[in-house]
């Protein structure tokens, strides 16, 4: 049996926390990053990638095409590519379940991972849930063996579309929660927004081709709750800062994905109250406080 050897591309919080979890099973696991301060390997990709029998993609969606173009020439045909990116690639407008097959060689095994996996909590041993979307049971079995005995629990699904869309939508709605909290509107109104966002997330995933049960599970609502209410969440923090300063974090996955998700939904977006409020702010450039006041208090009769 070949000893596991994973190469993690991206030395941010998630990449670093995954390496910590992997070390007991894979002492040779390395991190490669364009920033040497975040990398554990100093070798070029042309040397690192051919030796890896697992490749983890822990980079933002907007850099994924460039990363894969550098990696593919050296990739072993049998090495599963495991993607943790949750977003829509901004040049092509492709979701991750569309982007990876278009960039990887034919028949390359790959998986998409969703679910609540806040890196800071994984580092503290507090646990997380990863939903591994793949059509290859063998890929899931190999992947889950790497994390055996760790605090990361794993589940398998073949609903790549549902896991992908859940990851995109939860970032948008986590940003909306951040906006409400940044406006200082308290737990009661945040609770209403959270409940409405949950309904909308499920509808969006199902409308765009994912399964309702995927959106209802850890890849959808589980990840949304973790992302929306954690102080570690970049998307939530982006919403808070946006409300407080008027400056929108264009590096937030929720912000980057919004325009593309809106175009996929077309006119249906207008029937989703929280999503439509975000559309009025991000695309229509309407005043944030006014839009959210109308969203919240215009719904009093249906509470």
Q: Give the Cα separation of 120 and 95 in Å (integer).
A: 26
Q: What is the rounded average pLDDT of the residues 191-212?
A: 96
Q: What is the rounded average pLDDT of the residues 262-275?
A: 85
Is the pLDDT at 4 greater than 80, yes or no?
A: no
Sheet holding 110-114, edge to edge: 30-32, 6-9, 54-57, 81-83, 110-114, 128-133, 152-157
What are the tokens at 65?
Answer: 């095409």
Q: What is the rounded average pLDDT of the residues 10-35?
A: 94
Give the DSSP letter of residue 128. E
Tokens 């899931």: give the residue. Answer: 140
Q: DSSP letter string over 38-89?
A: G-S--S-HHHHHHH-SEEEE-S-GGGHHHHHHHHGGG--TTPPEEE---SB-
Domains annotated for the chain, with CATH where assigned, are 6-158 (3.40.50.720), 168-302 (1.10.1040.10)
Q: What is the rounded average pLDDT of the residues 42-68?
A: 93
Instruction: Give the pLDDT confidence score for residue 90 in this predicted structure.
Output: 82
Instruction: Give the pLDDT confidence score for residue 1 in this predicted structure.
Output: 45
Tokens 């940003």: give the residue. Answer: 175
Instruction: Give the pLDDT confidence score for residue 298 in this predicted structure.
Output: 75
Instruction: Give the pLDDT confidence score for residue 3 in this predicted structure.
Output: 65
Instruction: Give the pLDDT confidence score for residue 302 in this predicted structure.
Output: 41
What are the tokens at 220?
Answer: 């959808």
Is the pLDDT at 2 greater than 70, yes or no?
A: no
CB contact at 8 A, 127 and 150: no
CB contact at 8 A, 54 and 4: yes
Residues 6+ apart with CB under 8 A from 261: 88, 168, 169, 172, 204
Q: Which of 134-143, 173-182, 241-250 has the lowest mean pLDDT?
A: 241-250
Q: What is the rounded average pLDDT of the residues 239-260?
A: 85
Is the pLDDT at 269 greater than 80, yes or no?
A: no
Q: How confident is the model at residue 256 (pLDDT cuts 50, 70, 90)?
A: confident
H-assigned helices in the chain: 13-22, 45-51, 64-71, 96-103, 119-123, 137-146, 160-182, 186-207, 212-216, 223-229, 234-245, 253-265, 273-282, 288-297
Instruction: Give the pLDDT confidence score for residue 251 in this predicted structure.
Output: 73
Q: How confident is the model at residue 70 (pLDDT cuts 50, 70, 90)?
A: very high
Give the DSSP letter of residue 267. G
Instruction: Give the pLDDT confidence score for residue 301 in this predicted structure.
Output: 44
Is the pLDDT at 103 greater than 90, yes or no?
A: yes
Q: How confident is the model at residue 240 (pLDDT cuts 50, 70, 90)?
A: very high
Instruction: Give the pLDDT confidence score for residue 30 in this predicted structure.
Output: 95
Q: Give the Cα separation of 274 and 140 in Å (integer).
A: 35
Q: Give the Cα separation of 285 and 235 in Å (integer).
A: 19
Q: How confident is the model at residue 266 (pLDDT cuts 50, 70, 90)?
A: confident
């Amino acid at each position: 049996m070949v000893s596991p050897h994973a190469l993690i591309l991206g030395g941010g919080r998630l990449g670093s926390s995954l390496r910590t979890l992997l070390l007991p099973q894979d002492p040779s696991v390395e991190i490669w990053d364009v920033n040497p301060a975040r990398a554990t390997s100093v070798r070029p990709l042309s040397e690192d990638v051919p030796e890896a029998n697992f490749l983890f993609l822990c980079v933002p969606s907007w850099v994924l095409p460039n990363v894969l173009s550098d990696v593919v020439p050296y990739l072993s045909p049998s090495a599963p590519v495991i993607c943790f990116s949750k977003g829509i690639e901004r040049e092509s407008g492709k979701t991750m379940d569309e982007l990876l097959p278009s960039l990887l060689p034919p028949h390359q095994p790959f998986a998409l991972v969703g679910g609540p996996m806040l890196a800071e909590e994984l580092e503290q041993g507090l646990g997380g849930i990863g939903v591994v979307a793949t059509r290859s049971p063998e890929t899931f079995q190999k992947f889950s063996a790497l994390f055996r005995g760790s605090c990361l629990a794993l589940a398998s699904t073949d609903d790549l579309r549902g896991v992908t869309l859940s990851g995109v939508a939860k970032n948008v709605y986590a940003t909306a929660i951040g906006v409400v909290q940044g406006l200082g509107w308290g737990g009661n109104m945040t609770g209403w927004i959270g409940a409405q966002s949950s309904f909308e997330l499920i509808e969006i995933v199902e409308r765009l081709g994912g399964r309702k049960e995927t959106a209802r599970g850890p890849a959808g609502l589980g990840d949304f709750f973790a992302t929306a209410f954690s102080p570690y969440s970049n998307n939530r923090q982006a919403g808070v800062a946006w409300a407080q300063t008027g400056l929108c974090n264009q590096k937030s996955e929720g912000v980057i994905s919004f325009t593309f998700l809106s175009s996929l939904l077309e006119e249906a977006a207008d029937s989703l109250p929280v999503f439509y409020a975000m559309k009025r702010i991000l695309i229509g450039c309407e005043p944030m406080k006014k839009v959210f006041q109308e969203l919240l208090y215009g719904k009093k009769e249906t509470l």
